[in-house]
Structure 1
Amino acid sequence: MRMARKVMRPENIPADILPLILEHLSDRRDLHNCAQLCKSFNRAATPILYRNLDSRIVWTRKYTPASIHHPARTLLQKPHYGKYVRTLTATGAFGLIEPDAMLECQKAMRLCTNLEGFTWSDDSPQGSCHDEILLGFLPVLRALHIKQLTIRTFGGVSDEVWAKLTEFTGLCAVSLWCMEGQPRIMQGWSEKLGDTLTHLELGRCAGVPASIIVSVLSYLPRLESLRLKGVQSNAILEILTFLPNLVTLDTEYLASGVMRYTGEPVASVRELTVRTSSVDVQGPVQLWSWILLLLPRPSLESFTLNTFSTQGDASFPRRFLLELGKTHGTTLRHLNVDSVQLTVEDVQCMLTLHPELETLSCLIALCQNPEDIEEATANARYLRELRMQTSWVPSRHGLHQPVIKFNAEHARKMMLRENSRLRIIGIEKDLYTGMWVRRELKDGTERLEFEVMEEVVRD
């Protein structure tokens, strides 16, 4: 296929589509360069540059004081940029390094009239030593009527800060994470947010009675996304019986003896992430049946399982695979189970039971032949991304890691076969990406060619 080449000057790109293009730039340096290219690019790139602002502590030399990189001074110099800001991140350390920086940040924050979200990050192990800085921000945030609030600390927050936080109303998303200190699980706050809160993350619930967790969440019927850490499995089942709008669940599996609650969930979960660990290679007791209890009707679109065993990689039970396909065979689109072992036959069975699957990431045992992978994925018409890891398996000479002799030609063959939509294939650390590119010919015309790029992904 040949085509004539047409060159468009940057300033002639339609203004309505230019921001849609620039939003794909992940490096702020590229956006900064675009803002300096011409007037049209400046108008499109500047709002994107200031949409999400962060503060960073920079150490230039080992024995020199740290400096703060924060956009507050720029906003004070150009106040009209404040209307572009949607999210803002502040850290507890910069007020101690540069005392005046906190006052500048508060003044600049008042200019962000369209601010939607605020993130507070404090890695200090001393707990509430930086709470005075956070207390200075909270009145400004309340006046701006933010919708999203994230608190990430190492030592938790003081009672004084918590009392101020619980005065916030109208929030749509709340995220609370801490490593130590008193767990904050929305007690006395969830009642005020029941009409608005749709996204909630509680990063430290360990030690809190399940009955309290259930009581707190019962005031939040509008929840659509929930992430919990440290909540017993029985409580998760009960929580799903009164959250009809919940579609995203990220939780741990913490077995607590006999299942005391067996009511059917009213929530139809679309995205499920389960995290667990075990000393038994077979995995935690009742894990697989518990997952199925969470998903009583066809709804699941994305499933991620992160599990760890001290005895090696756990196996993926064939019975669970069949039951999952029986209920969610027509809905599942994304599957990430690269922490449990599957055979090549399991992969073939998975793709047969879930014909709509678009992405698959898994751990393969006993696979050394690229042709086996090609055969297992032959009928995966909608599969766009395939990632496979290999596991340690026993041999006559002890333990060895099988090496799949897969190369770019195998990837090309799988990507270009009939009805194939595969464009990304990862085998161990080798990543193959296929795309159509335009090649310029000597006569000035262009031709489309399919190219497979190979790269090594480093941890």
Structure 2
Amino acid sequence: MIYDCRPRALRLSRTMSMAVQPQSIPIDVLPLIFEYLDDRRDLHTCAQLCWTFNLAATPLLYRTLDSRIVKGQTRRSVKVLHPAGTLLKKPAYAKYVRHIHESSAVGSSMPLLLPDCQAALRLCVNLEGFSWSDRDSSEVRNDEALIAYLDILQGLKIKELTIHTYVGLSEEVWGRMIEFRGLNKVAIWTMEGQPRILQGWSEKLGPSLTHLELGRCTGVPASILVSVISHLPQLTSLRLKGAPTSAILEILTYLPRLVTLDTEYFGTRTSRYADVPAAALRDLTVRTSSVDLQGPQQLWAWIRRLLPRPSLESLTFNAFSTQGETTIPRTFFLELAQTQRETFKHLHADSALLTLEDVECICTVFPALESLSCSIAICQHPGEIENAISNGHNLREIKLNTTWVLSRYGAEQTQIPFDVEHARKLMLRERSLLRAVGIGGVLYTGKWVQAGTGKGLDFQVMRDVVSDW
């Protein structure tokens, strides 16, 4: 056994072996443990340890399969790593496969491998989801591989279909796709070509479809988009890119089960639609851009119209402004709290600029708040953060991108005067549930650990650089 390649899995197996023989551990318990191993190499090690571990780890190893292209030293030297060979040699493993990610790069790099890929796909009788990726931006379209896969998938009764392609979907490919029935999830992302918004298909998917992603709605009239989506009353999650802002409110009237919405705001015109949305959104993501630091006009009123009743738990705001970081008016949070005060838990606004007074306001008017991520204009001392979040009694995580300024230097940017002890103080405040503090690209995490035999518990704070924010 190679000790230096997979240390975490080896430590896990050794610890379990010291406590009890691996063969005696109930096999239905092991998958619950192995699911915490996020590295496939660790799962592979567990599968080789003993027969009991192999039975538990193998289904997890083959649950999701994809391919990989490894480029050699020369331009034409390419190696394709694909699971098809293993499945053809050991067909019994195919019953564990639930999701497959295929890429057009496999066929373009090694065309002779495609028959094996298709044969292996036919063996996956329990397949639930299929994803196709074609990032070739050339005008030459090669649909044969995708069409062959779609023909096989028709007999497998999959529930999820995801297509990522640069040049768009041809009429022949689209004709194959709209023959599918009983799908729970459809995601179509294209960069060029005709927008595919499920025209002629949504009526047939209406009874089953719960998750929909349309990555190209630009140019589609609002009336057509509303008409198409109105046939999908079972939707619980919807993501739209390029959809007309004027269509969103009316769409929500046809989707009473919708809880997750990811859309863009263009603010080109005010919607004349006056009815109250039927959807009770739990997770809302809004993406927008503007030349105004205050954001597009009427954006904040539009967001509130999407949320007519208490339901919102998470709001993600991604904004771009040509003048700098977008600000969020404090009045928006005060008015949002009139309906969402008891339900709101998560605010993710990394691209938005707030003040510490805004943070204090948010923690006060939303008592259930658990996580907050944003940028801060000015902070002169770590104690100001403690004061700002003093009312955030349910706050578990806070991430701030700050510009720290010492008073005698005016507006000059200085080194961040925040360290482990400041983080510890924030986490150990009275009634505090805070366990993660991000300052710029540094993340501080705290937890109680056993100090030693008879020494009780000790609170440790770990410092980790996670990004350059």
Q: SS in structure 2 opposite 1:362?
A: strand
CA distance, structure 1, for counterparts of residue 404 and residue 291 of structure 2:
17
Aligned partner of 1:448 among 454, 457, 460: 457
Check conservation: 2:100, 2:129, Cα contact below 8 A: yes
Check conservation: 2:379, 2:405, Cα contact below 8 A: no
Q: SS in structure 1 opposite 2:225?
A: helix
One-letter code aligned to 2:461: V
Provide structure 1 residue ranges, at least 5 long, that are not aligned to the other structure.
Answer: none
Q: SS in structure 1 opposite 2:141?
A: helix
What is the RMSD of the two structures over their aligned residues, measured on CA atoms? 2.1
Report the alpha carbon displacement of residue 22 of structure 1 after superposing the two structures with TM: 1.1
Check conservation: 1:86, 1:115, Cα contact below 8 A: yes
- 1:322-354 deviation per Cα after TM superposition (whole angstroms, max 9, x unaligned): 011121111011110121111111111111111
One-letter code aligned to 2:127: L
Question: Are 1:198 and 2:210 an aligned pair?
Answer: yes
Aligned partner of 2:370 among 336, 355, 358: 358
Check conservation: 1:203, 1:229, Cα contact below 8 A: yes
Report the alpha carbon displacement of residue 260 of structure 1 after superposing the two structures with TM: 1.8
Check conservation: 2:379, 2:404, Cα contact below 8 A: no
CA distance, structure 2, for counterparts of residue 152 and residue 391 of structure 1:
39
Q: Which residue of 2 aligns with 1:55?
A: 67
Report the alpha carbon displacement of residue 391 of structure 1 after superposing the two structures with TM: 5.0
Structure number with greater CO (CA < 8 Å, separation at least 6) is 1
Report the alpha carbon displacement of residue 121 of structure 1 after superposing the two structures with TM: 0.1
One-letter code aligned to 2:464: E
The structure-2 alpha-carbon separation of the partners of 1:73 and 1:354, relative to structure 1 and needing over 3 Å to count, comes to same
Q: Which residue of 2 aligns with 1:146?
A: 158
Question: Are 1:177 and 2:193 an aligned pair?
Answer: no
Q: SS in structure 2 opposite 1:449?
A: strand
Q: Which residue of 2 aligns with 1:116?
A: 128
In the TM superposition, 1:320-399 aligns within 5 A as: 320-390=332-402
Report the alpha carbon displacement of residue 436 of structure 1 after superposing the two structures with TM: 2.2
Q: SS in structure 2 opposite 1:129?
A: coil
Number of aligned residue pairs: give it. 452
Aligned partner of 1:307 among 319, 328, 344: 319
Q: Which residue of 2 aligns with 1:36?
A: 48
Q: Which residue of 2 aligns with 1:424?
A: 436
Aligned partner of 1:245 among 257, 262, 278: 257
Percentage of pairs with the same residue: 57
CA distance, structure 2, for counterparts of residue 419 and residue 263 of structure 1:
43
CA distance, structure 2, for counterparts of residue 196 and residue 248 of structure 1:
17
The structure-2 alpha-carbon separation of the partners of 1:436 and 1:113, relative to structure 1 and needing over 3 Å to count, comes to same
- 1:271-310 deviation per Cα after TM superposition (whole angstroms, max 9, x unaligned): 0000000011121011100000000110001100000101
Question: Are 1:290 and 2:302 an aligned pair?
Answer: yes
More deviation, 139-148/361-370: 361-370
For normalisation by structure 1, the TM-score amounts to: 0.94
More deviation, 132-141/55-64: 55-64
Q: SS in structure 2 opposite 1:221?
A: coil
Report the alpha carbon displacement of residue 129 of structure 1 after superposing the two structures with TM: 2.1
One-letter code aligned to 1:271: D
CA distance, structure 1, for counterparts of residue 415 and residue 265 of structure 2:
33
Report the alpha carbon displacement of residue 433 of structure 1 after superposing the two structures with TM: 0.9
Q: SS in structure 2 opposite 1:162?
A: helix
Check conservation: 1:54, 1:89, Cα contact below 8 A: yes
Question: Are 1:236 and 2:248 an aligned pair?
Answer: yes
Check conservation: 2:316, 2:348, Cα contact below 8 A: yes
Q: SS in structure 2 opposite 1:130?
A: coil
Q: SS in structure 1 opposite 2:334?
A: helix
Check conservation: 2:349, 2:374, Cα contact below 8 A: yes
More deviation, 137-146/362-371: 362-371
One-letter code aligned to 2:230: S
CA distance, structure 1, for counterparts of residue 406 and residue 377 of structure 2:
10
Check conservation: 2:404, 2:416, Cα contact below 8 A: no
